[in-house]
Amino acid sequence: MRTVIVTGTGTDVGKTIVVAAVAALARAAGERVTVLKPAQTGVAPDEPGDLAAVVRLAGAVDTLELARFPEPLAPATAARRAGMPPVTAAQVVEAVRGLATDLVLVEGAGGLLVRLDDAGDTLADVASGLGAPALLVASAGLGVLNTAALTAEALARRGVSLLGTVVGAHPERPGLAERTNLDDLPRVTGAPLLGVLPAGLGGADQHDFLAAARCGLGPVLGGGWSPRSAS
């Protein structure tokens, strides 16, 4: 079993779309995929969350959500305000180790150091606990180079390997920053740019979504997801 931790340079950068794209490519390559969401925030108990979007786009992948909190806040804050127990890094690690699958994608909330609980656990602690590499989903525009560099530095300080960066929602008509960032992201992170996905993929059907995933990620990933550095 291989595990990849999927984090972002912030919120609304396309993490769920990238997770679905990687899952779709792996599924098309014949792999069994499980997507784990440690904490879903801002979604009511009876509403579809990020995992429902992954299944709608990628098809029949297994999913596991460990906790859900109603307010759209950082998991630690949302759990505290709801009077609910938070998710800890140890719980996430235990859940991943209990899975029987080919590939586990762990989708975080927001950025790498967003707190899971008030003790200070973060997605970075999950990556360290599992010895798993990270995939960084980046926004397209101005300001992303700083947050991408900070994320890469935080991962390196913890001994977590960064597989590379994917731009999760590239505009149809990119401006100067969106164009030059594609060259600069590998420079500031020290890891390759693994792909670029166009904005607006959330409404695609499974056939068109897989085609977009192959176009955006396939040239680097060879049409499938098989990071041999993953654990």
Q: How far apart are CA 213 and CA 20, in angstroms?
A: 9
| CA distance linking residue 230 with residue 91, whole number of Å | 20
Q: Look-up: residue for tokens 């307010």? A: 71
Residue with tokens 């992201």: 185
CA–CA distance, 114 with 92 (Å, rounded to integer): 15
Question: Of 9, 48, 5, which is closest to residue 148 (Cα–Cα)?
Answer: 9
Collapsed DSSP state (helix, strand, coil) of residue 169 = strand
Q: Is 37 labeled as catalytic in the residue annotation?
A: yes
Structural contact between residues 123 and 108, judged by C-beta atoms closer than 8 angstroms:
yes
Active-site residue identified among 2, 27, 37, 214: 37
Residue at token pair 């999760």: 168
Catalytic machinery residues: 37
